[in-house]
Amino acid sequence: MSLCVVTGKIRHRDEHTARLALLDCVMARNRGRHDRREWDVYLCPKCKGWHLTSMIQPRSAKKGPSS
């Protein structure tokens, strides 16, 4: 297992492998591991490996009443 020098993320050799890792994260989340926020995979243009994208949800964006 290698890491991306640019993002520091785990580098998966192909999309299939990345999706398997993503599935692990989803299952962990379903078991209550809410620190796992990975939700998709993408091909990194820097290292040509596949990474998981993390979901970032800013808490400040509160929905107000729309007019």
Q: By C-alpha distance, which of 47, 54, 61, 63 is closest to 13? A: 47
Our finding on whether 10 is near Zn ion (CB under 5 A) is no
CB of 53 to Zn ion, least distance (A): 12
Our finding on whether 13 is near Zn ion (CB under 5 A) is no
Among 16, 23, 46, 54, which residue interacts with Zn ion (rule: CB under 5 A)?
46
CB of 25 to Zn ion, least distance (A): 17
Kindly list the residues in this chain that would bind Zn ion in the complex (CB under 5 A).
Answer: 4, 44, 46-47
